[in-house]
A and B are shown apart, each in its own frame.
Chain A
């Protein structure tokens, strides 16, 4: 006897009950797909901003800088960084023509204006290279312009408002230099930018690498060199390549790390993924409990039928497989429907995105304020597989109970 057609006929014998059981799985998988879509959008934004703005896919810095990264020390810098950056650029471009190699300096500053002082963060780099990374040139507000030359800066709109400054005003920057003394530089504000990322608009201003070197007394150096690749797949191989170039330049003094090994965000992202999968599993389990209840009810109703089948010679194993198949098929139907509707919903929601500006107001994470949910093939597979697998697991116990019945008792008790 073929189990699947038999199970299918049994499910169709009471369509309403089957639909009720499948609907529970449908709802829980739908919820999982939508939540996963938001999670994908959230994490994609975080990873993209983190790599682009902070580390690159591969990051080179001194070992001393790595020990004190949190403090953005300016007394730890790569000497003669332009030569090293050029060597890396030449090697990396042969394998990834779209890769971007950038020398950067990031440091805390005290900004001074008529209205007072405010602590902020400076990001210094080659303005033309940063057009492809920070891309703040695309966020300049009307009335301003991107940095044109040495001596100019662009400032986050919120930061400028806090300081009472506007385009054309002078930004006075005071900070500790590489030799420990205080450095001071005045920069003309050429434009204000608005990214809707609170960690940028309220705290950051961009200046040229040349200005930063003068301010910090850093001569021909940079705090870090970042390598941003076209995609994620080649990070490990490129890291080895870059390590070889760095070792030839200055073995032992410089550290080369992939972005996954830098800072707290990669660990946080990994942890969030694990936590979300456990949450999804619990949601799927809750949705599948209905199937267990329905299966138990069905088995009690069909006791006589089970007894007759057994007395006709159907092995206990096949009885088990029959009811297991019924439960699994209910889960599969619910999962397919839930996944299909969930993916459709996400694709509609992804067109406009969700404006989280107010919710993100107090955060300084590297996140866009508008989150676009997204779906991957992995999401689709997970939805179908999880719903089906959990339903199968939940159905096992009632199916085993059915298989263990004594045929005579089953027929007599009906």
Chain B
């Protein structure tokens, strides 16, 4: 019997090791579409309820707005503000339409045109941003450009280009946590390439098996010393929500 040479054993062990690595879960390289699909799986929900707080910093001025929010998919949302200055002001989004109810006038008005680009209640998050659907993979074509470490976490870096003109931002650059598949940072660009807004996820919540951004900071790249931190508490995903909530009658109750 021929003795097994050390060299043969070494090569065989090496081959077995490589096969084991290749077979390990997550070890197969993900492409951009797959990464986005995983992000959407985390962020896209059938329904959401949360109690929110917006801390708005503009120059030396600070404001705090609090609210309760309900949403069904990406087409329906209802927000009621609870801070004293705006108590009772409500917003209803149905697909691409937005209405606001003002208790001081006991009346509702449809928001359109240039007002949609204004910051919501003076924040860096515009009404237009709120109207944007969340499912990135359907709206953008994506390219994986590499990996970076951001705030101690390894992130996929994706460049997204809008597939059509109906979106608010023609281009996006995303840093996606490679383990949790949440967007750690995003830069939002105009078609010209001008940087318009930056968002960072400061904290996340684990809801079931999903990771959901629960504290997000927005800043308007065109303004100095301007940022908004949106915090969501009492977060409930995919629970039943009364469809009557998303109606003009509910706005004026």
Mark A residues whose CB is within 8 Å of B: 110, 112, 117, 119, 172, 174, 176-177, 179-186
Residues on the A chain within 8 Å of B114, using CB: 110, 119
Contact with A along B82-126 (1 / 0, CB 8 A): 000110000000000000101011010111111100110111000
Chain B nearest CB from A396 CB (Å) reads 60
> In the complex, which residue of chain A has the Cβ closest to the Cβ of B119?
A180
Cβ-defined contact, A182 with B118, below 8 A = yes
Q: A110-B111, A180-B56 are in contact. List 13 more A-B contacts (CB 8 A).
A: A110-B112, A110-B114, A117-B112, A172-B109, A174-B100, A174-B111, A180-B123, A181-B85, A181-B121, A182-B111, A184-B104, A186-B105, A186-B107
Chain A nearest CB from B45 CB (Å) reads 27
Cβ-defined contact, B102 with A176, below 8 A = no
Contacts A172-B107, A180-B123, A184-B104 given: A110-B113 contact, CB under 8 Å? yes
Cβ-defined contact, A176 with B110, below 8 A = no
Asked if B163 is at the interface of the complex by the 8 Å CB criterion, the answer is no
> Which of A117, A179, A181 is most buried by chain B, counting CB atoms within 10 A of its CB?
A181
Q: Which of B58, B85, B105, B113 contacts A117 (CB 8 A)?
A: B113
Contacts A180-B121, A182-B121 given: A119-B109 contact, CB under 8 Å? no
Cβ-defined contact, A181 with B109, below 8 A = no
Q: Which of B58, B63, B104, B110 contacts A112 (CB 8 A)?
A: B110
Residues on the A chain within 8 Å of B109, using CB: 112, 172, 174, 184
> In the complex, which residue of chain A has the Cβ closest to the Cβ of B63?
A179
Contacts A184-B105, A184-B107, A186-B107 given: A179-B112 contact, CB under 8 Å? no
Residues on the A chain within 8 Å of B86, using CB: 181
Cβ-defined contact, B107 with A174, below 8 A = no
Residues on the B chain within 8 Å of A183, using CB: 102
Show 10 residue pairs from A and B whose CB-CB distance is below 8 angstroms, ordered by the A residue: A110-B114, A117-B113, A177-B122, A179-B63, A180-B58, A180-B122, A182-B115, A182-B118, A184-B100, A184-B104
Q: Which of A119, A172, A179, A185 contacts B122 (CB 8 A)?
A: A179
Chain A nearest CB from B243 CB (Å) reads 26
> In the complex, which residue of chain A has the Cβ closest to the Cβ of B65?
A181
In the complex, A119 Cα to B110 Cα: how many Å?
13
Q: Which of A172, A174, A186 contacts B115 (CB 8 A)?
A: A174
Chain B nearest CB from A218 CB (Å) reads 14
Residues on the B chain within 8 Å of A180, using CB: 56, 58, 63, 118-119, 121-123
In the complex, A10 Cα to B229 Cα: how many Å?
93
Chain A nearest CB from B37 CB (Å) reads 36
Residues on the A chain within 8 Å of B107, using CB: 172, 184, 186
Q: Which of B63, B118, B123 contacts A176 (CB 8 A)?
A: B118
In the complex, A186 Cα to B107 Cα: how many Å?
9
Residues on the A chain within 8 Å of B111, using CB: 110, 174, 182
A-B pairs with lowest CB-CB distance, top 6: A180-B122, A184-B102, A181-B121, A181-B122, A112-B109, A174-B109
In the complex, A183 Cα to B114 Cα: how many Å?
15
Residues on the A chain within 8 Å of B118, using CB: 176, 180, 182
> In the complex, which residue of chain B has the Cβ closest to the Cβ of A186?
B105
Residues on the A chain within 8 Å of B85, using CB: 179, 181
Chain A nearest CB from B17 CB (Å) reads 60
Chain A nearest CB from B164 CB (Å) reads 25
Contact with A along B121-142 (1 / 0, CB 8 A): 1110000000000000000000
In the complex, A3 Cα to B83 Cα: how many Å?
93
> In the complex, which residue of chain A has the Cβ closest to the Cβ of B127?
A182
Residues on the B chain within 8 Å of A176, using CB: 115, 118, 122
> Which of B85, B100, B104, B109 is most buried by chain A, counting CB atoms within 10 A of its CB?
B109
Cβ-defined contact, B122 with A117, below 8 A = no
Residues on the B chain within 8 Å of A185, using CB: 105
> Which of A110, A112, A183, A184 is most buried by chain B, counting CB atoms within 10 A of its CB?
A184
Cβ-defined contact, A110 with B104, below 8 A = no
In the complex, A177 Cα to B115 Cα: how many Å?
12
In the complex, A183 Cα to B115 Cα: how many Å?
11
Chain A nearest CB from B228 CB (Å) reads 10
Chain A nearest CB from B125 CB (Å) reads 11
Chain B nearest CB from A212 CB (Å) reads 15
Which B52-88 residues have C-beta < 8 A from chain A? Answer: 56, 58, 63, 85-86
Residues on the B chain within 8 Å of A181, using CB: 85-86, 121-122
In the complex, A110 Cα to B110 Cα: how many Å?
10
> In the complex, which residue of chain B has the Cβ closest to the Cβ of A108?
B114
In the complex, A275 Cα to B67 Cα: how many Å?
60
In the complex, A184 Cα to B63 Cα: how many Å?
20
Chain B nearest CB from A210 CB (Å) reads 14
In the complex, A182 Cα to B130 Cα: how many Å?
15
> Which of A112, A177, A180, A183 is most buried by chain B, counting CB atoms within 10 A of its CB?
A180
Chain A nearest CB from B9 CB (Å) reads 72
Contacts A182-B100, A184-B100, A186-B105 given: A117-B63 contact, CB under 8 Å? no
In the complex, A243 Cα to B102 Cα: how many Å?
41
Cβ-defined contact, B104 with A117, below 8 A = no
Residues on the A chain within 8 Å of B58, using CB: 180
Residues on the B chain within 8 Å of A112, using CB: 109-110
Residues on the A chain within 8 Å of B56, using CB: 180
Residues on the A chain within 8 Å of B119, using CB: 180
Chain A nearest CB from B102 CB (Å) reads 4
Chain B nearest CB from A44 CB (Å) reads 35
Residues on the A chain within 8 Å of B63, using CB: 179-180
Residues on the A chain within 8 Å of B122, using CB: 176-177, 179-181
Cβ-defined contact, A119 with B113, below 8 A = yes
Residues on the A chain within 8 Å of B115, using CB: 110, 174, 176, 182
Residues on the B chain within 8 Å of A182, using CB: 100, 111, 115, 118, 121
> Which of A177, A179, A183 is most buried by chain B, counting CB atoms within 10 A of its CB?
A179
In the complex, A255 Cα to B122 Cα: how many Å?
26
> In the complex, which residue of chain B has the Cβ closest to the Cβ of A174?
B109
> In the complex, which residue of chain A has the Cβ closest to the Cβ of B115?
A110
